[in-house]
Structure 1
Amino acid sequence: MNDSIHPSALNGLNFNINDALPDPAFSGTPPFEELARPETVLPSKPQADAPRTLNHRRLAQLSASPVARLLVGSVTVLRAWQLDLELPPPIHDHLDRCLQAGLRDEYGQTLDLDAIHIGFSTDHAPEVHSNGEERFERRLSLRQLGRAVLDPAAFLAFKRCAEPDRVLRDDLPGFTINAFFRQLISARWTLEYEQTLSHFWARHRDTWQTLARLSFLDGLCRLGARKRIDKEGYALALDVLGLDAFPRTVAQLRQGRRRRGSSVCGIALNGRIIPGVFHLKARHTGHCYVHVLGQHPQCREYISDDAPWRAQSVLDALNASEWHRLHLQPGDFEQGLTLTEPVDDVFTLLQRAQEAFCTARLESGDAHELLENDTTDEDDCVVMPILPALTLIGALNHWHDPAQMPQRVPTPLKLANRIMRKWLKHQYDLNLDPRQVFIRYLRGTSTTPWGRPSIAASNVMFTPDETPVALDQALVDNLRLRAPQGYDDHGGRWVVYADPSAEGHWTSRNELPIHADEVDTCLASVDLLSLMHRRLERFWRGQREATERALCSTLIGQALVSLKSGGLSIDGFNLLTAAMQAAECQTPHASLQWSTLGFYVSTGLPAESDCPSCVGLLLLRHKDRPGGLLFQAGQKQPFMEFRDPRQLTAHLAHAAGDEQWRRTLLNHMPARHHARLTYILELWAGTRQPPEPVSVLRPWLEPLYRPHTHKARQHTLCEMQVDGPPAAFICQGLQRNSQYDAEDSIVTDREVALRNWTRLAERLQLLLAPLALLIPAASIASLTAGAATLALHVQAARLPGDREAERRQVLFAILSLGLLQMGPATPRLLRAFRGISVSNPLTRQAVPVPPSRGFNSWLERSTASRKTILKPFFNDLGPLKTWTVAGNATFGTEPVRAWKLGRRFLLWTSEHRQARTLVVSSHGYYLPWSRTSAVPNGTELRTYAPHGHSLVDPSLHRVVSQKVAPYSMLNDTHTLPGPRTGELPGAPDADILMAGTPLAGRIKNYTLAKFQSDRYESYRQISHIVRNSHQPSPGSDLPAVAMDVMTVRNRFGMPNPSLEDLFAELHRCGIHYDRILLLHCRCSALSSLLGRAPEFVAPPGSSPITP
């Protein structure tokens, strides 16, 4: 609370020494660890008088109060802090601040209100002291005159008796006495304070009444403990609160209804109800009680059979209260003390009385008190009846809880330890810890393999693991004691022994009289997962309420610490209080919404990611505001306010780089997500380099192959709405985590059986695989075994627990089964496609490239690394994807550039210019339904084989060197034979042989396919050919005619292009060539598939091409 406001009420306690978060070691531990109360080492006896020790003793006493335990985890704590933060200052402080601010605004300087004085004198109305002394002169400071406005009559009298007008400060000529009085008269400071007070009561009226009930209940507990009230009075006092017994929650104080067993009245003085006191009388007896609220509660009991009440007893109670003696002004006692009419809710009456009392003090200022600075009693004007509750709230250590929840949550090892301990005690009367009892396999002295040397038994080989396993861990792992298979182990056996060191060391003296088969029978008879589910359900059903209350207490305590340390602003604190109050009342707020954050992690399957909710990251948003409040459970900085989503993302990216922050976050997550979430958080923080993208030019592939990595690089979060209170959501998350961890760690009988059957099915499938290629029956049996393996994998993927590996194995099994089904048809399909794409293996035979050595080693890197970029073509039309094949500066060679035309063509040009001649190097064929294509306008086409023939590879470099004569030359008007072409038949057969069609200006629309490979006409060779054509070496016989090369690319899922597609792609890119040399076969696909296509060898010769 505002500790400086109530120093007397807090009995000298220094709460600054207690307003700190726990040690950082606690913030990175499991979710309940921050609730644990650290051991407080009290000073030794010589330091017993230290203030810190006294504070801790007082705090311990206050924390042990029943009302303090009632407040743990209640939103009333936050509302009380709101009340204290918004509590109006005393009226004198308000007037001093307003006067200081008014003078600074008027004169531009901060003036010392106590250093400037004004004199006053009178001849007719002197000031008379209590000793009879008269005083005709007085000097008052500006502060005293500013406070005198509360007494208008006295203030006007001071104005009349003021000294003549003069300048109050030499450096401020306008600052005169008359100007100062005019400023005070025109000010409306008292009205402003009255409006502030009215707003305070309108906002915190319900909170004040709740704190008054708690204060009364605390005083009742103290009176009962000191035997200051009898049982009947205690019961009647509880009836005032509408209770039959001490409440369990604060909500019961607001929901209780009185039983009408007593009459409750307020006490009025001169017609005004006195705050902080009420009269209680039993209806059936004459017992009456006068209760006085405050830091020192009182209860005066008396018996009044005849009169309705006794005024003297009420006066005695008021005189015993220091606060009432200071503030009550009996006056002339015209009406004296009276009782009000009986009321149902006396605390509403007391609140109204307190509000009226605070307002009345503004109208009844005493000039003597104002001038003497007698304001020591102003601080507790509003909070006097609720001081006990405020003291308890200020003393509570909200972030601590004595319950050790992590040790109480059941775990599989704890349950297995208890089961095996009972089994050892019941069966063998051994009081041993199962963690110190081990079972292991001891190898024998010799072994004898099964089978014969010619027929080994390796297919059934099994060797038991000799690692010692504790009995509780053996039950969790569902250990099966299997004998060796595939060989005889002479002297080998399973032993059960005890090791006090719990390290598993075996000696013959430590063996226990327990047969291993009995242990195996015990392990097989226990369904640990079902027992664990029932145990967890029973635990959380009994501990849910306490856990939620502890979590709520932790959240409230961390909010208070963040508020005091500056990590939480007043607006954020008010937002959190409103949300917590709506959650406690179970009435959803119309504008506030809780949500939880999550990070996308991998599921092991392509194009799929999972987003588990992080229980330790809760988000509170207002629907009309872009920002919000982030709660980080267990972190050093519990609350973080953000203005927009970008600031939230930046905070999470920075926090993810802190290992302690990541560890604390993972403590609120099931173990199955730890590894994947750690990887994603490191990507978020930038401490781990992201993997290389699948394709730089195809960024859309990364969301398909690695969606979790893509979203982590984009800093994408998923936000899920939370229904209900945040503490209940965190409790549900912790319960779910405990169930997940149990399912992940416990091995069931069904899992063991599926694992064994899967191993047998896979072994059978492996044995049948070679026979399936030769024997149809074995192929059917292999498919059956594959289907059985797939069914077993599906069953394993449906087991409880984290089954990511099993789901991935199901996908692999489906793919494997599909390949087995396609197995018989695969060779025929391969032969068919090979026949279509390659006309004859001998028609275009590549020249073998010798391994490059010495001088040619630099050529190996020519196309090794590619950096594809977007760049405009030489005609500056559209940007194309391209990469550069670097030259060599030592030999003066120019680089070569490869351009991607669409997705099916690759154009090889020089780095600096485009040639006027293009060579198309590819396979070619036509289909029965192939049509014709128009020859591009202004372009001459040259073919190197007649229509219907396959072309024997003349080698690309010989064609570029013009050492091969073309068969025909076509343009958009006529068709001509080549210079070495023999005699042709008459038209139209000649046109068909040259163009594939008798139509002038057209050519058969041949289908093109990729011809290049690593063994012949590689991309490295093409780059050298293009480079030499553009830059021939000195003394070379190559012509000075530059040529570009066009190749075809294989694209999965796309048909082969045609000549028409090639011409269209060149036209689309705005690329024109004067000559296009078509270096491909022109045979029928069907003839090539049957091996009947005639071959044609291009004749040597030259056909000069003008540059």
Structure 2
Amino acid sequence: MNDRSSSCSTSGLDLTSNDTLPDGSALSVSPFAERVRPAQPLEPAAVAPSEVHTLNHKRLMRQAVSPVAELLYGSVWVLKAWQLDLAFPPPIVSHLDQRLQETLQAQFGAPLDIDELHIRFSTALEPAVEADGRERFELRLTLRELAREVLNPPALLALRRCAEADRPLSASTPKLTVSVFFELLTEARWTLEYEQVQRQFWEQHGDTWEMLAKLAFLDGVTRLHSRKRLDNEGHLLAMDALGLKRFPQHLQDLQPIRPPARSIVCGVALNGEIIPGIFHVRSNTTGHCYVHVLGSTPQCHEYISDDAPWRADKVLEAINASAWHRLNLSLESAQTLLKLPAPADDVFAQLRVAQERFWATRLTGVDAVESPDAFIDDDHAALMPIEPAMALVSALDHWQHHESLLARLPTPLGVANRLMGQWLRQMSPGFDRVPLKQTHTATTDPQRVFVRYLPGTSRTPWGHARIAAANVAFTPDDKPVTLGQALMRRFRALRPQGYDDEGGRWVVYADPSGQGTWSPEAELNISAAAVEAYIQGIDFLEHMQRRLDQFWQQQRADIERSLWSTFVSQALLALKSGELSRDSFNFIIGAIEQAQQVSLPQTPPFGTTRIRWSAAGLYVSNGLPLSSDCPPCVGLLMISAPDQEGGVLYQAGQSTPFVAFSNRQQLISHLKAAAANPAWRETVLNYMPCRFHARLSYILELWGGVRAPAEPVSILRPWTEPLYHPDTHAARRHQLCEHHVSGSPMGFICEGLRLNSQYDAEDSIVTDREQALSAWIQHLDRLQLLLAPIALVLPAASIAALTASAASVALGIQAANLPGDRQDERRQVMFALLSLGLLHMAPATPRLLQAFRKLAAPTASLSRGIGRETARGHVALPARRFGDWLRRATQTRKTLIKPFFNGTGLMKTWSVAGNAEFGTSAVQVWKLGRKFLLWTSDRNQARTLVVSSHGYYLPWTRTTAIPNGTELRTFAPHGHELVDPMLHRIASQSVRPYARLNSTQTVPGPGVGPFPDLLAGDTLMAGTSLPGRIKNYTLAKFQSEHYESYRDICQIVRNSHQPPLPSPLPATPMDVLTVRNRFGMTNPTLQDLFGELHRQGIHYDNILLVHCRCPAVGSMLGRSPSFVASKGPSPITP
């Protein structure tokens, strides 16, 4: 993986490999196998033109289907193995060469050719002896060869003594002399730097090395056992060395290793040092001993030792049989001592420490001049025990082993064809009219058996020429459908209604071509009624849900594993092609490690916070206004850290599966560019249920700029777009929502695919409840049409029509709650509710009230009769309380039409009688237009009018002129809500106004001001800076039954004309104006009020505006400030 030219093909993972997944062209739309493009090598190595790179596909296939490879499929350890190989330090000689060039460049400022510059050495006393016995007294070394001698300090010092006279080594760098170069080598600490690199490698990747060593051991034991080179006892003891009783099912079984129960496992020590790559296993019950040697050619040497715990000669034979140990260990020393150390619970951790020490000791004691190839196989020295596992990981990279799980997913049409095929085979003995020898396959294949309605030769409508038929007209569809489609649609052989079809009938026939072409000789002796009876006896949706649940229970683990395998493969290919950087690759490894709950190192490389997985979602309309859904796109997963803005986006099924982004804006930019690609949009839609395809395709086209957004509903009111089309508004603003993925991300994708299959089944299958609701809704709609003309005349028919409409709405609500995509039903229910409320209930309200009065009339008469009988029996009536006398104002009113006090216009009015016993006068109520009620005394009109209502203004509200000769008084500043000062306090002149306005000037009330400037003062007092004008506030009804009721208004009007208690202020008669609240009528404004008063010729000297002056939007959101009117005497001249 490091692309080292000196590395052996079996010592690491090969980057220049065949990186194409099988059947890649067909996987762009499949959730279970991802399409990837051929990757380029990360660091392409120079290959001779004559060299042909070939792959042994049979060997790769054997490795890919091995038991250990099955454990590695979809595991994070595959990526960690690549991470180990990428982080593997270069050979020491490469490190020395690189540091030499960097040091010379830094000190002398010019690039030097370390292979051309050389130093000569000569000696007369200590010549070098060649292999043939000749002596050499002179030596010529290049700077590269001389720099490698820092590994052998005594040899470097000896060469320094024999070096030639001091001279510049290069004409371009006169400062670089022989003595200076030797001083540079003496002071260099390149070997210590390399030791530090080695320590960091083992600290970061030691756990990966141990896991790969275990997998290499498992692979070797499995191969030896399959080839009969290891008996069953040896295989069981080998599993016991890993703390297992049988071959592991998951890689988690290897972490951590439990102490062996049936054997004693220990390493082999040479002169007190553990030998890497070899350990000894002895049975606790028998004398069987096994010496396991790791490496590319695993070996297991078996012997029996009954008398001693072990035999040194057998262990020595096993060491000598290993080529690697013969090359790297010296057994010819006289002080050689071979022994077994104390048993270890985890022998692989012991082997890792031994390998680390062995690799470190190679840095000293080797003469680079005498043996220049001593460090050529540096990778093989460190990776020897894990070479089989690395080869397996490389084989998984070459040979992807994916099962076609999508083809086994049950589909509604496939299950329906299977059920109807079984029924056809049961009915096949009855096929008398069709020879079975010729058309047996066609007659038992439900995809080639059709049912359709054949229209007759003539039609006769029901009813009379002058009297229309009252039955619902229904015409059967004559389009042929297969038996599987008939089961999905819950076929019913309905006869025509509303007319007689002469010769029309249902037929069941076979068509071998599958086109549905009917011919008389192809008819089967199966009636459509039999097909309907069989279909009606099957709850197909429940059957389909059981099949789907069974499939996902059995295949969920395999599907999730296949998704993980694809994810891992795509991460490797993205790294090789350069789409992923090393940092992003390490970030993905950390995310998978946490998702798969693999034991983490003590100090995680990305901090202690957990990496967050989330799914991107796009807003999609749900059929209702003011709302939209944001379903998660299971094919778009985001990997991010909580304390970082950037992350990695995983696009399942795309040609570029991984995209790294540094912030959210960069993510949005990528999605905008990707959404312009039709293939990208199609792949995203394949991970979503079919119910979202149409709308989501439109939303993605808006994201990519492929389609221009539709014009808003109102160009003058663009703010209505979020109300009517919230998903389009979100797409134009490129808004995303994130759904947190709590468990396994591939499990999340599996769950999304499961729900997609369930939703698609619910959308395509018709249930009996759906048919029943549809039929009853049609009957109720027909009933409403029949009752509509009668309801205009008969009150009982009006009540029946409303009941039918309400029942239709109730059934529509039930239909909207059925399984499946019910956007149309929900929209229909909304329109039905609006129709019922606006079109049916509102016009019918007076007629309904009149009808209920007529229905209640006999009861009232009966009650009056019972009352008279009671009076005759001299039964004493209960005494009335004082409150009952005051509530006598609520008598049945008698409306008259008479002129107002000034006699200018006729108005509807009624009188609220007073109480003669308490001396209260009557109150006259006038209908001022259709939206106001004017409360006055029954004797005369007052000169002061109190307007008691709610008030607000809208952003587009204008101003209105103040009537001439009228003074307006407001009790709150503009833009504020008015805390209710109580109407009786206003009438008693105990509340001070905020401002007084007339047609010429604006004057602040007592204690108001000063203002920052004149413009601010006019705006707060009048709502505008224009003189003689006021903001045209919208008024609404303020009164209710329990708060400032009409009884209270009557009492306040009486008291203003006849004060019941003495007051320091002179009595000021006041009239009160209220706003009516009628269904279907808009709220009036101040301009409407002034216009109605002018139209009736009514004039007031003072009008007190007791209402809020806040903005409607601010009041709805609770952001408008409140104002409390100050209390105090405020006399008004009567």
Same fold (TM over 0.5): yes
> Is 1:200 the equivalent of 2:169?
no
The alpha-carbon deviation at position 308 of structure 1 amounts to 2.7
> Is 1:20 the equivalent of 2:73?
no
The alpha-carbon deviation at position 29 of structure 1 amounts to 1.4
- 1:267-292, Cα deviation, whole Å (9 max, x unpaired): 12222111001111222222221111
1:560 is aligned to 572
- Map 1:203-352 onto structure 2 (within 5 A): 203-330=204-331, 332-352=333-353
Cα pair 2:620 2:695 within 8 Å, conserved = yes
Q: 1:806 to 1:1006 in 2, by over 3 A?
A: closer
1:189 is aligned to 190
Q: 1:1060 to 1:789 in 2, by over 3 A?
A: closer
> How many Å separate the matches in 2 of 1:587 and 1:734?
29
Cα pair 2:959 2:1029 within 8 Å, conserved = no
The alpha-carbon deviation at position 254 of structure 1 amounts to 2.0
Cα pair 2:413 2:484 within 8 Å, conserved = yes
2:378 is aligned to 378
Identity, % of aligned pairs? 52
Paired residue type of 1:584: Q
Which residue of the other structure, out of 539, 542, 545, is the alignment partner of 1:533? 545
Cα pair 1:1005 1:1060 within 8 Å, conserved = no
1:413 is aligned to 413
> How many Å separate the matches in 2 of 1:709 and 1:679?
9
The alpha-carbon deviation at position 17 of structure 1 amounts to 4.5
Q: 1:743 to 1:399 in 2, by over 3 A?
A: farther
- Map 1:62-81 onto structure 2 (within 5 A): 62-81=63-82
Secondary structure of 1:375's counterpart equals coil
Cα pair 1:398 1:557 within 8 Å, conserved = no
1:644 is aligned to 663
Specify every segment of 5 or more residues in structure 2 that has no aligned partner in the other structure, as ranges: 39-49, 430-439, 601-607, 850-894, 896-904, 906-952, 970-997, 1002-1026, 1035-1079, 1100-1134
> How many Å separate the matches in 1 of 2:630 and 2:686?
17
Cα pair 1:295 1:385 within 8 Å, conserved = yes
The alpha-carbon deviation at position 725 of structure 1 amounts to 1.4
> How many Å separate the matches in 1 of 2:105 and 2:521?
93
Paired residue type of 1:903: W
> Is 1:505 the equivalent of 2:506?
no
Paired residue type of 2:422: K
Secondary structure of 2:378's counterpart equals coil
Secondary structure of 1:395's counterpart equals helix
> Is 1:769 the equivalent of 2:788?
yes
> How many Å separate the matches in 2 of 1:37 and 1:691?
37
Cα pair 1:262 1:280 within 8 Å, conserved = yes
Cα pair 1:925 1:1081 within 8 Å, conserved = no
Secondary structure of 2:228's counterpart equals coil
- 1:554-575, Cα deviation, whole Å (9 max, x unpaired): 1000000001001111111111
> How many Å separate the matches in 1 of 2:37 and 2:545?
30
- Map 1:570-585 onto structure 2 (within 5 A): 570-585=582-597
Paired residue type of 1:392: L
2:1085 is aligned to 1056
Which residue of the other structure, out of 710, 716, 723, is the alignment partner of 1:704? 723
> How many Å separate the matches in 1 of 2:471 and 2:1033?
51
Q: 1:764 to 1:400 in 2, by over 3 A?
A: farther
> Is 1:823 the equivalent of 2:843?
yes
1:546 is aligned to 558
> Is 1:610 the equivalent of 2:629?
yes
Cα pair 1:797 1:803 within 8 Å, conserved = yes
The alpha-carbon deviation at position 772 of structure 1 amounts to 2.0
Paired residue type of 2:675: A
2:674 is aligned to 655
The alpha-carbon deviation at position 30 of structure 1 amounts to 2.5
Paired residue type of 1:266: G
The alpha-carbon deviation at position 524 of structure 1 amounts to 0.5
> How many Å separate the matches in 2 of 1:386 and 1:1008?
85
State the TM-score, normalizing by the size of structure 1.
Answer: 0.74
2:433 is aligned to none
Structure 1 window deviating more from structure 2 (255-264 vs 812-821): it is 255-264
Paired residue type of 1:82: Q
2:603 is aligned to none
Secondary structure of 1:1082's counterpart equals helix
> How many Å separate the matches in 1 of 2:1000 and 2:829?
60
> How many Å separate the matches in 1 of 2:825 and 2:218?
60
Paired residue type of 1:306: D
> How many Å separate the matches in 2 of 1:378 and 1:255?
30
- 1:29-52, Cα deviation, whole Å (9 max, x unpaired): 1212438999xxxxxxxxxx9966
1:726 is aligned to 745
Paired residue type of 2:591: A
The alpha-carbon deviation at position 716 of structure 1 amounts to 0.6
> Is 1:466 the equivalent of 2:478?
yes
> How many Å separate the matches in 2 of 1:253 and 1:538?
31
- 1:469-522, Cα deviation, whole Å (9 max, x unpaired): 100110011111100111111211111011111110111111111111111101
Q: 1:460 to 1:314 in 2, by over 3 A?
A: same
Cα pair 1:411 1:742 within 8 Å, conserved = yes
The alpha-carbon deviation at position 335 of structure 1 amounts to 3.9
Structure 1 window deviating more from structure 2 (423-432 vs 165-174): it is 423-432
2:807 is aligned to 788
Cα pair 1:439 1:471 within 8 Å, conserved = yes
> How many Å separate the matches in 2 of 1:504 and 1:19?
47
Secondary structure of 2:514's counterpart equals coil
> Is 1:448 the equivalent of 2:460?
yes
Cα pair 1:932 1:1003 within 8 Å, conserved = no
Secondary structure of 1:275's counterpart equals strand
- Map 1:38-57 onto structure 2 (within 5 A): 54-57=55-58
The alpha-carbon deviation at position 78 of structure 1 amounts to 1.0
Paired residue type of 1:633: A
> How many Å separate the matches in 2 of 1:8 and 1:127?
32
Cα pair 2:36 2:656 within 8 Å, conserved = no
- 1:339-385, Cα deviation, whole Å (9 max, x unpaired): 11111211111101001111111232334455x34432212121110
Specify every segment of 5 or more residues in structure 1 that has no aligned partner in the other structure, as ranges: 39-48, 833-841, 843-899, 908-919, 935-969, 974-1001, 1010-1050, 1062-1078, 1088-1107
The alpha-carbon deviation at position 10 of structure 1 amounts to 3.6
The alpha-carbon deviation at position 250 of structure 1 amounts to 1.5
Cα pair 1:656 1:682 within 8 Å, conserved = yes
Cα pair 1:215 1:387 within 8 Å, conserved = yes
> How many Å separate the matches in 2 of 1:279 and 1:186?
45
Cα pair 1:655 1:685 within 8 Å, conserved = yes
> How many Å separate the matches in 1 of 2:542 and 2:288?
61
> How many Å separate the matches in 2 of 1:776 and 1:1059?
36
> How many Å separate the matches in 1 of 2:296 and 2:841?
88
Q: 1:219 to 1:1059 in 2, by over 3 A?
A: closer
- When the two structures are aligned, how many residues end up with a matched partner? 874
> How many Å separate the matches in 1 of 2:1094 and 2:761?
70
The alpha-carbon deviation at position 817 of structure 1 amounts to 0.9
Cα pair 2:8 2:380 within 8 Å, conserved = no
Q: 1:296 to 1:315 in 2, by over 3 A?
A: same
Secondary structure of 2:81's counterpart equals helix
Which residue of the other structure, out of 706, 713, 717, is the alignment partner of 1:687? 706
> How many Å separate the matches in 2 of 1:479 and 1:740?
21
Cα pair 1:122 1:136 within 8 Å, conserved = yes
The alpha-carbon deviation at position 704 of structure 1 amounts to 2.0
> How many Å separate the matches in 2 of 1:683 and 1:753?
40
> How many Å separate the matches in 1 of 2:190 and 2:11?
33
Cα pair 2:64 2:401 within 8 Å, conserved = no
Cα pair 1:98 1:189 within 8 Å, conserved = yes
- 1:877-928, Cα deviation, whole Å (9 max, x unpaired): xxxxxxxxxxxxxxxxxxxxxxx99734499xxxxxxxxxxxx9xxx999xx
Paired residue type of 1:706: H
Paired residue type of 1:193: Y
> How many Å separate the matches in 2 of 1:251 and 1:903?
68
> How many Å separate the matches in 2 of 1:20 and 1:388?
23
- 1:964-1009, Cα deviation, whole Å (9 max, x unpaired): xxxxxx9859xxxxxxxxxxxxxxxxxxxxxxxxxxxx99999999
Cα pair 1:398 1:554 within 8 Å, conserved = no
2:944 is aligned to none
Cα pair 2:21 2:400 within 8 Å, conserved = no
State the TM-score, normalizing by the size of structure 2.
Answer: 0.73
> How many Å separate the matches in 2 of 1:394 and 1:6?
18
